Structures are given as C-alpha cells and as structure tokens.
A and B are shown apart, each in its own frame.
Chain A
Amino acid sequence: MSAFPLVALVGNPNAGKSALFNMLTGARQKVGNYPGVTVERKSGRLALADGRPVELVDLPGAYSLEPTSPDEEVTRDVVLGRQQGERLPDALLIVLDATNLDNHLRFALQLIGLGLPCVVALNMVDLARRDGLEIDPQALERALGVPVIATVAVRRRGGDELREALSEAIGAARLVRPGDGAAATHDFTAVQRRARAIAREVTTDTRAGTRSTSAIDRVALHPVVGPILFGLIMFLMFQAVFAWSKVPVDWIQSGVASAQAGAAAVLPDGVLRSLVVDGILAGVGAVIAFLPQVLVLFFFILILEASGYMVRAAFLMDRLMARVGLSGHAFIPLLSSFACAVPGIMATRTIEDPRHRLTTILIAPLMTCSARLPVYAVIIGAFIPARGIGWGFGLQGLVLFGLYLAGIAGALVAALVLRRTVTKGSPRGFMLEMPKYQLPHVRDIGLGLWTRAMIFLKRAGTIILVSNVALWALLAFPQAKPGQSALDASIAGRISWGLEKVVRPIGFNHEIALALIPAMAAREVAVSSLATAYAVDAKGEDNRAIEDRLRGRWSLATALAFLAWFVFAPQCLSTLAVTRRETNGWKWPAFMLGYLFTLAYGAAGAVYWGATALGL
C-alpha cells in the first residue's frame, strides 16, 4: 500500500470525519497502531476520479496544531512529517463541520498554512441548513485559497466531487504562501480571529442556535430527568444484552451440538475424536455462542457514541467521578470497558492527566466486561430461578444488574483509594465539546459492529482456541487407569490440587480451581473449561447442559462466591498485556494483578461465608 500516494483525513473531533472515511473507503479498512504510541491508525484505499489509487489515513480528531492529548500529538506529527512510521502526506483532506465553522476553520487555516496540497470537505451542510445557516462554498474557497466541496457524509453526498478535487490536488506543485500561512499560524489568537471573520463572511444566519439539540438537551441534561433517563438507558442496555441474544445463542449452541454429534459419528473413538469434539468444537462453540451478546452491547455503545449522547453521559457523571478523584473523561473508557477492558484501557489515551489516566486503567477491569457474561449467564441460569419480579423483568436480570453494580461500586471505591495513595495528585479540569445530536447512520453502526466482531473472533480464534486445546491436552493426558477419575489422573488435575488448597476456604471445589487456570487467557474460557472438565469426567456419556451438571455439583453458596470472584478477578491476559503497553512497564500490570486478586479473594470469601451463614 505504501507505494500509493498518501492522503490524510484531518479535522476537528465531531466533524463527521469517520463517516466521511467510511463513505470514501467503504469496508476496505485497515486498523493498526502507530509505533511506540497507542494511537490507532485507521487507513483504507480510495480510487481517485482518474483511477489512481491512494491510501487514505484517518487521523485522530484535533482542534489545532497545539496538542492537548497523545492523539492530537500524532495528528500534528503526521501533518508535519515527523511521525515515526508514517510518510509525510501527499495531500490533506480537511473536514469542516458546516454548523461550527468559526471553531473548525481555525484548525483548517493552520493546516492550509503548512503548504501541503489541501482539499476542504464542508461536511454536514444539511444540518447547517436545518439550523438556518446558509454557507457559500465559493466564498469559502476564495477566502481559504483551496478547493471546497460541500458534503453530507452520512448520506454519501459529495464523494465524486471530493475524488475529483483530490485528483487535481495530488501532484500539484506545493503551495508555499509566506505571510499568509506559516507566519500567521504561530499567533494562535490571530488565527482564531481570522477564522471567526471568515466564518462570518461566508455564513448567512437566518436563525440562531442549534434548536433541536438544545431542545433535546433540556430533557437529557435536566438535573432530575437527565440522570433518570441515563439510568433507564443503561438498564435497557443490560436487559437487551440478555433478552435479544437468547435466540441466536440457542441456535449457535444447537448448531455446535449437532457438529459435535456429526464429528463423533464420523471419527473413530480415540484421542483424535476427543480432541475434535471435547477440545476444538467445545471451545469454539463456547466462544461463538457469546458473539450475539458482544454485538448487542457494542450496538448500544456505538449508537450512544454516534448519537452524541456519550458525552452527555460523561457530563452527567462528571460530578460523581470528581468525587472519587476522576473526571467525566474517565467515564467513556470505563463505559467501553463494559464491552471489553482492552479497548476501554486503550481509550484512556484521551485522558490528559497522567494520574487520572493511570487510575482509570487500573479500575477499568472492574467494569463488567462482556467476557464475564457467559460465566454469569451459565451460573445465573443454573442457580437463580427464572422468576418474574413484575413489570416484565426477571429475577435473573436483576441478579445480573446487581453484579454490574457490584463491579461499579468496587471500581469507585478502588478509584477513591488509589487517588489518595498510589496515584495521588492535584485535580484537573473536565472540558470537552458536546457534539450535536445526530441520528446514527446504519452504515457506520454496521461497519463498527463488523470491525468489533472481527476483532473478537480473531481473539477467540487464537487465544481462546489455543488455550482450550491446551487445556484439553492437560485434561486428557495421561489417560486414566480403570476405576480412576479422568480428571484426577490428568496433569491439570495435579496442578489444580495446589491451587485448590488456596481457594478451598472461599468455597471453590477442584473443578473450579481447574477452570481458573485456563480462564487466565480469557474469562469466558472458564465456562468451556468447566464444560470440558465435567464432560471429560463423565467420559462423554453425560449429554446434559452445563447448567444441569453444575446444579448437581455446586452449592448455591459456591455459585454465588464464584460470581463474586469474577466481578473482581483479573482473569484476562489481554488486559494485563495492554496495561503493560499503555503504562510502559510491568510495574502497573503487576500491581493490577495483585490488588484485583486480593479483592476477588476477599469478595468471594465474604459471599461464601455470608451465604453459608444464611443457610443457602
């Protein structure tokens, strides 16, 4: 790809950059990382009007060439040709939000001043019109001295004109305009004022303000109604994760079961059949069955982000976060951690304050990630009766909600303690743009879901499958002698005896100790490990669902302690690996591992002994 000319897509946050990128590149996108930093590099291929292919790279949103976060630093370094691992772009495609020209033009002026060939996409002209703004693209073109194309990225308007303008821009002689560009961009205030003057000049304002957004905000940001609405959205989200995914999960499970039956019929009895049926198919099945839940959760998160509500949620939560020494900024990475702590921890790079950021990273694994869902779902399904509690809500959903709340409460307390001890430091402000409300576009949500699903399945296909097969090997060898339990004879069985001594006081049995070992790769493996452990133990004759098998073998106190353990335990090597990368060393992942295992042990113990005392 590097042989093609490079075009950098650059603009303010909330200018509709991602939608424009999706419109221009479609599904041909590549997501990677810039070397040495943790900023995502998103690129795709785009054919120009004259047929030449170019590589389009979507730079992180920035307000100016004076960065306030690592993301913005990457943007500045790329356009200056200083970013390691990136060529100086051959042209810049600058995205402007037509409804917010006075702010966005400042960055555009700075970028144009760099002297690279530029094309300006005047995006969201439809929203501007809705707000009563008429913008004259020709006048803007004259004022800026570069081609200006009106676009509506979410409706795929303006793409051909952009390709045309880029064809002309690439290969054009570099423009160097002393006085106008380089010199002027050094005086920030002067650029700012010039931007406002140009915005005034090209805009005809027929009405004031962004009406629809402020009408929604009167409700969404209302001091009483706002938090209630927010709570309802969160509650709906978690109920949906359970309810909407039930049918596809059942399909997948019966599909895997018939595949297992088919394989068992074809393959001769022996090690190979055991490997395929109990190792590979059981492991893969457990992972894919969990995909619908991931998709439902990401569906909600992507919609919250695309609609503009995510920042409002941060606004509503800032006071609460400030009480535990964080800011509303931390809310978005933490909310993302409900899907998976790995992207959540990576999203902390938008937090400027290093101590806030470190604290957020350390508590992110306490947000109930979707990998815990299969664990919770199996245990809740097995031990909590599916009873209604009125208004269409069930007891199982309530217990799930309670587990999420326990994680949140744990995270808040942990943040409070951490901010007073290991990440002590002065508080920092909370300042960010609240984007306009927008109807999320099907294509952007679809592409987002597709990317997430692929990332999840890739992870599932590697770490989880490998650990499942390794576990199967540990469980299957050496083969049991007649009269001996298959589990007791295996290597894993022997390793787990040591671990069992440690976890026995908190009510865990040998199979749980055994499942905790491979669950270090990923929490959801615990379910398939338990399934494998009990399947191997029953020598394949026991075809009951994992829920039924657990019900006979665990007490309710043990089941509840197991749930409590998974609220806190750092059972995810990926999370520890990404923490190592984000904090540049083993110190903080080691700290995370230690404090979370301590919490998990304490919580599981308290629940076990509490439940036992209550006679459960």
Chain B
Amino acid sequence: MPDQVRHDEAHRRLRRLFPRPGNPRKGEFNTNSLVIDNHSHYMRLMALRLDQLPFRTPARVTGIDWSRLSDGDANRLRNLGFDEGVDVEALHGAPFGRDPLAVRIGRMMVAMRRAQAEAVSVETIGGAGS
C-alpha cells in the first residue's frame, strides 16, 4: 500500500472519530495525544484504548492485553463479558476526574476504573457521536 493511501485512510478514520477535528467535546478527549505525523499516527489510532474512547462513541473491542491486569481483574473482566468483537461504549465518568467509567458492554452496564480500561483496545464503529 503506497504511503499516501495509508495516510489518507488514517485521516478518514480520524475524521470519523472526531467530526470536528481539533475540537473535541470539552473534557472528553485530548487530540494532543494523537500526534499526526507521517506514518505512525494511524498505528496509534488503531491502538485506541477504552479509557481514551470519547463518551457516547460506540466501539468494538479489538483486543485485551491480559498481561496488564492482575489475575483477579482479568478474571472479572472476562466474567463481565469482555472479549474481542463485543460492542462497548463509554457512557459516564464518575465525578472528581471522570474515573471510574460506566461502560456499556452488550446490554450490560459495567463500572470500571480507567487503569483497567487501559488494557482494552477498541476501534470505533459507525459515525462518531452519532
């Protein structure tokens, strides 16, 4: 794949994530952490983590880094239904720092701290903010 095509593809994904580029809803996501340079940015986009996912943006779990979690946390995460391919959406953040998160997984609501949400990689589906 030529570099330009990959570059454009990455921008399209970014646009989907942020309908108004560079102007995310306040307090939800900081685009500064997504530095756009030549080749690496789409890689970072692919590696969007659940704790970075803007609120009310439907997404799909692409992978879970079980090694980042303690045995107990990993077990509980599995028991709550986290698995590749399931739909998730961050709905609420608790007061004082928007941590923990209230995450919808399938038809269930789950409370989890950002520290554990970091282990979950996601990609957005549909239009962002739709």
One of B72, B99, B111, B115 near A434 (C-beta < 8 A): B111
The answer to whether B75 and A68 touch across the interface, beta carbons within 8 angstroms, is yes
A224 cross-chain contacts in B, Cβ below 8 A: 95
Q: Does A404 contact B (CB under 8 A)?
A: no
Residue of B with least CB distance to A222 = B92
In chain A, positions 178-196 with a C-beta closer than 8 Å to chain B are 188-189, 192-193, 196
The answer to whether B106 and A431 touch across the interface, beta carbons within 8 angstroms, is no
CA distance A189 to B70 in the complex (A): 18
What residues make up the interface of B, taking CB atoms closer than 8 Å to A? 69-70, 72-73, 75-81, 83, 86, 91-100, 102, 104-113, 115-116
We find that the number of chain A residues with CB closer than 8 angstroms to chain B is 48
Residue of A with least CB distance to B111 = A315
Interface centre among B73, B97, B113 (most CB of A within 10 A): B113
Interface secondary structure of A, over-half rule: helix
One of B76, B96, B107 near A99 (C-beta < 8 A): B107
Residue of A with least CB distance to B98 = A223
Assuming the contacts A68-B72, A103-B81, asked whether A429 and B116 have C-beta atoms less than 8 A apart, the reply is: yes
CA distance A218 to B56 in the complex (A): 11
The answer to whether B100 and A319 touch across the interface, beta carbons within 8 angstroms, is yes
Q: Does A432 contact B (CB under 8 A)?
A: yes
What residues make up the interface of A, taking CB atoms closer than 8 Å to B? 63-64, 66, 68, 99-103, 106, 131, 188-189, 192-193, 196, 209-210, 213-214, 217-218, 221-224, 226-227, 311, 314-316, 318-320, 322, 328, 352-353, 428-436
CA distance A88 to B12 in the complex (A): 58
Task: Give B100 Cβ to nearest chain A Cβ, in Å.
Answer: 5
The answer to whether A217 and B111 touch across the interface, beta carbons within 8 angstroms, is no
The answer to whether A193 and B83 touch across the interface, beta carbons within 8 angstroms, is yes
Assuming the contacts A68-B75, A315-B111, asked whether A223 and B94 have C-beta atoms less than 8 A apart, the reply is: yes
B108 cross-chain contacts in A, Cβ below 8 A: 100, 103, 433
6 further contact pairs, Cβ within 8 A, besides A316-B95, A318-B113: A218-B92, A318-B94, A319-B94, A352-B76, A430-B100, A430-B111
CA distance A68 to B107 in the complex (A): 22
One of B73, B92, B100, B112 near A428 (C-beta < 8 A): B73
CA distance A317 to B19 in the complex (A): 33
Residue of A with least CB distance to B115 = A429
The answer to whether B92 and A432 touch across the interface, beta carbons within 8 angstroms, is no
Interface centre among B92, B105, B112 (most CB of A within 10 A): B92
Assuming the contacts A209-B104, A320-B96, asked whether A66 and B79 have C-beta atoms less than 8 A apart, the reply is: yes
